[in-house]
Amino acid sequence: MSDIKLKITDREGVLHEVDAPTDMNMNLMEVVRSYELAPEGTIGICGGMAMCASCQCYVLSDHQLPEKSDDEEAMLAEAFFVKDNSRLGCQIHITEDLDGLEVELAPAED
Amino acid sequence: MIKTDILIIGAGPTGLFAVFEAGLLQLKCHLIDALPQPGGQCAEIYPKKPIYDIPGFPEVLAGDLVDNLMEQIKPFQPGFTLGERAETIEKLEDGSFVVTTNKGTKHHAPIVAIAGGLGSFEPRKPQLENLAKYEDNGVAYMIKEPEIYRGKKVLIAGGGDSALDWSIFLTDVAEEVTLVHRRNEFRGALDSVEKVQQLKNEGKINLITPAEVVALKGENKLEKVTVKNTETSEEIDVEVDNFIPLFGLSPKLGPIANWGLEIEKNAIKVDNTYDYQTNIPGIYAIGDVNTYPGKLKLILCGFHEATLMCQSAYQKIFPDKKYVMKYTTVGGVTGFDGSKKEAPKAVVKAID
């Protein structure tokens, strides 16, 4: 298993190219937190249960992502700033298939 | 004025367990929480989710953990101020504190322990330009007195249990009920979803999906809301007296952020080398609300922090008393209610 490369644009519009491990059972929200690309307390508030939308991001590359679960669908239906390419970072598991994934963090809710 | 030894702000698992540890030291506790029930996130957000890292519990539902904690602290008769948010703190000349809630309830204690977790849960507000203009003037984020909607035209937005349940309830009170949701699917108890379907069929609920409210209109008070179909982008104006967005709750550190405490990363800095005290002597911060090098937001860490905080609080309240920690296995648990739990005495008996 090896690291993959991700391109993450933070809420200030700054692009970060980061390495993410595929063997640490991590999700995209946790990768963002581990690199502190968004202030603590503004992302991953529910801890990754798809119960808040603080890790919402827009998927910019055309990677094939796993289908949304009912929980994720429901949460995105109530989130703000939702677009067609919105996903919850906490529901995107880091796998080798995601090498080169490009995402942009959605704005924080007020 | 409510008087106590340790005033705990936040009735989540950390705050609740602090009552137990304080009780072993014969210190009384009172808890304030913005939510109407104890348990914090465990009770409000994920009561049915299992937790696997509570020592000694291979698996426990968050809601059950709260029930167990409530049972564990019962002998120590904690007081509760629920459904109120701690708003201001005042330090008196003798070094004790008066904490006042948003409803004006005053609490007096020599020690304040903030166990506020992620903060107090506030309603999530939709992102609409002139929303503030209509607040308390047609727009509300929770329904306190349903009677004020009698004979009114009410529009509710949201797709969860509260949106469904209030839509159902208000059909008997309001003149007109409209429910707007961004999807055709609702996330709620099956009963509620079916009931809304039935009321829609009977013409008692005007259901607009998939749609969202995009604008509010009205001179001095709310008169119309613009609802946009998210598939066709078609917009219609609905005449309403009230707009109630029910988009759930999100935590905010809130007024505590203005208490003069050192804040870092949306959390309160504490002395983790000793007793989890903040930069203000007598005010402690325990559990998810605090931060220090290596901090982990885990319930089990909150329990530990609560325990050390209580020892320090005891010494602050009784600077001249000598005390050593006693194991519950040895000392048992003596409640303020007169109850006593202790290990059964071993039988000493000769064997012939």
* Between B270 and B323, residue with greater pLDDT: B270
Provide the pLDDT for residue A110: 67
Rounded CA separation B278/B239 (Å): 52
Decide if B141 contacts B244 (C-beta within 8 A). Answer: yes
> Helices marked H in chain B — which ranges?
13-24, 40-44, 62-73, 131-134, 161-170, 190-201, 299-317, 328-331
Q: B207 falls in which pLDDT band (50, 70, 90)?
A: very high
Q: Are A45 and B250 in contact (CB < 8 Å)?
A: yes
Give chain B's mean pLDDT. Answer: 94
**Tokens standing for residue B267:** 């959390």
Average pLDDT over residues A33-57: 91
Nearest to A74 among B46, B187, B265 (CB): B187
For the cut 90, the answer to whether the pLDDT of residue B344 exceeds it is no
Look up tokens 């009912």; give the residue.
A70
Q: What is the pLDDT of residues B273-321, one digit of tens each?
A: 999 999 999 999 999 999 999 999 999 999 999 999 999 999 999 999 9
For the cut 70, the answer to whether the pLDDT of residue B139 exceeds it is yes
Rounded CA separation B139/B217 (Å): 11
Instruction: Provide the 8-state DSSP code for B315.
Output: H
Give chain A's mean pLDDT. Answer: 93
Provide the pLDDT for residue B324: 85
Q: What is the pLDDT of residues B184-203, one digit of tens each?
A: 988 888 899 999 999 999 99
Average pLDDT over residues B168-176: 96
Contacts of A34 in chain B (CB under 8 A): none
Provide the pLDDT for residue B11: 97
CA angle B143, A45, A14 (to 5 degrees): 120
Average pLDDT over residues B85-96: 96
CA nearest to A102, candidates A53, A36, A57 = A57
Rounded CA separation B270/B277 (Å): 5
Look up tokens 């219609």; give the residue.
B236
Q: Are B118 and A81 in contact (CB < 8 Å)?
A: no
For the cut 80, the answer to whether the pLDDT of residue A1 exceeds it is no
B48–chain A Cβ distance below 8 A for any pair: no
* Between A71 and B16, residue with greater pLDDT: B16
A12–chain B Cβ distance below 8 A for any pair: no
Which of helix, strand or coil describes residue B187? coil
| ipTM associated with this complex | 0.80
Q: Are A39 and B265 in contact (CB < 8 Å)?
A: yes
Look up tokens 């137990």; give the residue.
B20
- % chain B with pLDDT above 70: 100
A84–chain B Cβ distance below 8 A for any pair: no
Average pLDDT over residues B68-72: 98
Q: What is the pLDDT of residues B22-62, one digit of tens each?
A: 999 999 999 999 998 999 989 988 888 999 999 999 999 99
Average pLDDT over residues B135-148: 89
